[in-house]
């Protein structure tokens, strides 16, 4: 009976710890300057023990940030040095190989002290609107071109802000107010977590997190291994081709399932690119682990122990283990496809759980708005603006349900409201609507992509950085389902544009049109419920011509 009561007590504290990190994340959302954080939730937040092991993460946030941050805190401890960690410190980095994969993500770690003793750490990450260099795009040839590189260092030492660091950053980015504001928001986020943790520990009369942390990690590890033990042992593989930059990229995975874990081996994947689509290993691990956990142990809370049984092998020099100084600015483009790649391998023995492929990567677009007179040599052009906008295609159909329309799987970020985007700078979003017929046909239909139409406001011109995929390689259906529609980038006069490139001009009087890809269908289209087809027609999800051609209706 005593053990049962102790377990209940521990579970109550575990749940309370999760609420602490949720409030930590909400502080970042409330105080962030960038719309990518404030509106889209492109962030992560979590609490770690003294050894740097993640105990709890906020549900708010993306797998790429959270799971990469789970490894990053260990790098902070090693680089700062345990003897150099003091109360009142705050640490910072955007190192792609020790943080979350590219320079645009800033990770902040704050040691948490109680009664003068170090008890753990709070960490958070956010994507900032600009980090200098070439901007958020794929065209750099080395990481040195992609922006300012902040090694792991102290942002605050014993309560004193490093103003020299802030001055260097402010003078190397295009939107200094937003970037510096977001750095302070990250620090405030961790401070909120710490203060809420102290309140919790007062209530439960705790002096340290060690006993609670051990309970969390031991139970999570055991529960995850039980799930893995129930799987058929063996090797299962899958492959996928994607647009790449100047040539297609081939991704390959072989899953090795044993009693004590699952290894995702990416041997056979394409080598690194000369352009910024390369992926550091820390980001590959983040999304590979997420794909495995989604299918095998989705209900077990995410922490160091529940992630530990999922391991990754990617040969050095392949595009999923790019080494410094390879360019990595748009590492998300390939990284977001890893869950679908892994789910395809799992479908060999879990067909009832695995959806069709989806649009995968988000169609992020970085827009530079400039005074139209600037091109004619105006002496005092109006100040330009950098705008980051997230858009999502359709997810793959599920065995029993249609795919989700315009939904960011696997990243989980929100679509930014048009009104919020237009408030940032002088652009007009003329259309942001679902794209009919874009979901793959099947017993269950794939999710729809979107059509987004953007123009500069009067007196301005826009340039954009393209980082799109699935234009030449659409999402594949499963179990007889049809492929989703591929994406397309064009101007209103019909001119087609490339899916990747930096500072692409949109001529005055023209609008940029993004047609986002749809998700693949699941199952034989001839078996689709006629009522579902009629519902799709009423809602405008499919056209009468599509219904006749694909479903014979």
pLDDT tens digits along 133-158:
999 999 999 999 999 999 999 999 99
Three-state SS at 4: helix
Name the strands in the sheet holding 90-93, side by side, starting at the edge strand that comes first in the sequence: 54-57, 43-48, 117-127, 105-114, 90-93, 153-157, 160-161
Look at residue 384 in the predicted model and tell me its pLDDT: 83
Please, what is the Cα angle at 451 between 453 and 541, to 5 degrees? Answer: 150
Per-residue confidence (pLDDT) for residue 60, from 0 to 100: 83
pLDDT recorded at residue 1 = 42
Q: Report strand pairing: 261-265 vs 310-313.
A: parallel
Q: Crossing angle, helix 63-80 and helix 281-296, to 10 degrees?
A: 130
**Integer angstrom CA distances of residue 494 from 213, 295, 435, 464:** 58, 41, 17, 17
Look at the alpha carbons of 47, 51, 52, 55 in this order and tell me if their dihedral is positive or negative. negative
Which positions ≥6 away from 356 have C-beta within 8 Å?
A: 396, 397, 398, 403, 440, 442, 446, 475, 476, 477, 478, 479, 481, 519, 520, 521, 522
- Say if residues 313 and 134 touch (Cβ distance below 8 Å): no
User: Which residue, among 324, 341, 288, has the nearest Cα to 99 in the 3D structure?
Assistant: 324
Report which secondary-structure segment, H or E, holds 533: helix 530-539
Q: Cα-flanking dihedrals φ and ψ of residue 154, to 5°?
A: -90, 125
| Alpha carbons 481 and 532: distance in angstroms, whole number | 15
Tokens of 407: 């939904």
Instruction: Tell me which residue has tokens 């047609």.
Output: 515
Which residue, 462, 514, 144, is CA-closest to 329?
Answer: 144
The reported pLDDT for the residue numbered 378 is 60
Is residue 284 within a helix (H) or strand (E), and if so which, with residue range?
helix 281-296
Threshold 0.85, pTM exceeds: yes
For residue 375, give both structure tokens: 């091109």
SS3 57: strand
Phi, psi of 503 (to 5 degrees): 50, 55
Distances (CA, A) of 459 to 374, 428, 464, 508, 510: 10, 12, 17, 9, 13
54 forms bridges with which residues in the sheet? 48
What DSSP string runs through 149-178? ---SEEEEETTEE-HHHHHHHHTTSS-HHH
Strand partners, 48: 54, 121
| Interatomic CA distance for residues 217 and 227, integer angstroms | 16
- What digits encode the pLDDT tens for the residues 284-337? 999 999 999 999 999 999 999 999 999 999 999 999 999 999 999 999 999 999
**Cis link prior to 325 (omega < 30° from 0)?**
yes
Q: Is 104 helix (H, G, I), strand (E, B) or coil?
A: coil
The alpha carbon of 342 is separated from its chain's Cα centroid by a whole number of angstroms, namely 17
Give the integer Cα–Cα distance in Å for 172 and 131.
7
Q: Is 400 exposed, middle or buried (0-12, 13-18, 19+ CB in 10 A)?
A: exposed
Q: What pLDDT tens digit does each residue of the chain (553 aa) get?
A: 457 778 889 999 999 999 999 999 999 999 999 998 988 889 999 999 999 999 999 988 899 999 999 999 999 999 999 999 999 999 999 999 999 999 999 999 999 999 999 999 999 999 999 999 999 999 999 999 999 999 999 999 999 999 999 999 999 999 999 999 999 999 999 999 999 999 999 999 999 999 999 999 999 999 999 999 999 999 999 999 999 999 999 999 999 999 999 999 999 999 999 999 999 999 999 999 999 999 999 999 999 999 999 999 999 999 999 999 999 999 999 999 999 999 999 999 988 889 999 999 999 999 999 998 876 666 667 778 999 999 999 999 999 999 999 999 999 998 888 999 999 999 999 999 999 999 999 999 999 999 999 999 999 999 999 999 999 999 999 999 999 999 999 999 999 999 999 999 999 999 999 999 999 999 999 999 999 999 999 999 999 999 999 998 7
pLDDT of residue 383: 79
SS3 523: coil
Phi, psi of 463 (to 5 degrees): -125, 145
* DSSP letter assigned to residue 85: -
Gap between the Cα atoms of 203 and 210, Å rounded: 17
pLDDT of amino acid 377? 62
In Å, what is the CA distance from 437 to each residue of 365, 547, 548? 23, 9, 12
């Amino acid at each position: 009976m005593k053990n049962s009561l102790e377990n209940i007590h521990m579970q109550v504290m575990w749940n309370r710890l999760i609420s602490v990190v949720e409030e930590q994340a909400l502080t970042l959302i409330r105080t962030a300057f960038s719309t990518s954080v404030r509106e889209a939730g492109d962030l992560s937040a979590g609490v770690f023990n003294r050894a740097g092991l993640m105990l709890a993460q906020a549900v708010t946030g993306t797998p790429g940030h959270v799971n990469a941050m789970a490894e990053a805190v260990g790098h902070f401890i090693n680089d700062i040095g345990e003897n150099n960690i003091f109360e009142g410190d705050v640490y910072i980095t955007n190192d792609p190989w020790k943080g979350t994969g590219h320079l645009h993500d800033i990770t902040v770690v704050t040691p948490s002290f109680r009664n003068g003793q170090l008890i753990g750490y709070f960490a958070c990450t956010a994507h900032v609107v600009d980090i200098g260099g070439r901007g958020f795009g794929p065209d750099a040839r080395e990481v040195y071109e992609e922006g300012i590189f902040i090694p792991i260092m102290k942002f605050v030492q014993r309560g004193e802000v490093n103003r020299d660091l802030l001055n260097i950053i402010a003078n190397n980015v295009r939107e200094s107010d937003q970037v510096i504001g977001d750095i302070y928001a990250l620090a405030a986020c961790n401070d909120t977590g710490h203060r809420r943790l102290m309140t919790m520990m007062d209530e439960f009369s705790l002096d340290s997190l060690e006993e609670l942390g051990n309970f969390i990690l031991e139970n999570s590890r055991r529960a995850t291994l039980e799930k893995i033990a129930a799987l058929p042992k063996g090797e299962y593989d899958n492959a996928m081709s994607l647009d790449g930059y100047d040539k297609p990229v081939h991704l390959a995975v072989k899953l090795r399932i044993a009693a004590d874990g699952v290894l995702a081996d990416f041997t056979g994947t394409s080598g690194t690119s000369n352009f910024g689509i390369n992926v550091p290993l820390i980001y590959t691990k983040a999304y590979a682990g997420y794909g495995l956990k989604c299918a095998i142990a989705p209900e077990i809370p995410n922490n160091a122990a529940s992630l530990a049984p999922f391991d990754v092998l990617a040969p050095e020099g392949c595009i999923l283990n790019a080494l410094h100084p390879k360019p990595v600015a748009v590492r998300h483009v390939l990284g977001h496809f890893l869950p679908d790649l892994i789910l395809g391998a799992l479908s060999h023995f879990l067909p009832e759980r695995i959806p069709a492929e989806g649009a995968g990567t988000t169609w992020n677009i970085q827009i530079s708005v400039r005074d139209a007179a600037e091109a004619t040599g105006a002496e005092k052009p109006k100040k330009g603006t950098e705008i980051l906008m997230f858009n999502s295609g359709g997810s793959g159909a599920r065995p029993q349900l249609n795919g989700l329309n315009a939904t960011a799987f696997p990243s989980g970020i929100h679509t930014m409201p048009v009104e919020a985007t237009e408030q940032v700078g002088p652009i007009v979003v003329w259309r942001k609507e679902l794209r009919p017929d874009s979901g793959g046909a099947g017993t269950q239909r794939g999710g729809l992509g979107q059509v987004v139409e953007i123009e500069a406001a009067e007196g301005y011109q826009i340039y954009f950085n393209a980082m799109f995929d699935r234009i030449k390689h659409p999402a594949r259906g499963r179990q007889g389902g049809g492929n989703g529609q591929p994406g397309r980038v064009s101007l209103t006069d019909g001119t087609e544009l490339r899916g990747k490139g930096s500072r692409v001009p949109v001529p005055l009087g023209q609008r940029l049109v993004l047609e986002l890809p749809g998700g693949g269908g699941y199952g034989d289209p001839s078996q689709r419920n006629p009522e579902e087809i009629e519902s799709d027609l009423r809602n405008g999800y499919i056209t009468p011509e599509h219904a006749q051609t694909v479903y014979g209706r």
